[in-house]
Amino acid sequence: DQKEREEARKEVRVLAQMQHPNIVSYFESFEERGSLYIAMDYCDGGDLYGRINAQAKKGFNFPEDQILDWFVQICLAIKHVHDRKILHRDLKTQNIFLTKRNVIKLGDFGIARVLKNTGVRPQSEQRERERERERERESEEEEEEEEEEEEETGSIDKAMNV
List residues with catalytic annotation. Answer: 90
* CB atoms near residue 111 (< 10 Å): 13
- The answer to whether 103 touches 132, Cβ cutoff 8 Å, is no
Q: What is the DSSP letter of 66?
A: H
Residues in the chain: 162
Q: Can you tell me the distance from the alpha carbon of 111 to that of 142, in angstroms, rounded to the nearest whole number?
A: 54
* Residue 79 vs residues 5, 83, 85: alpha-carbon distances, Å: 27, 6, 10
Comparing CA positions, the residue from 64, 62, 81, 66 lying closest to residue 22 is 81
Q: What is the DSSP letter of 23?
A: B
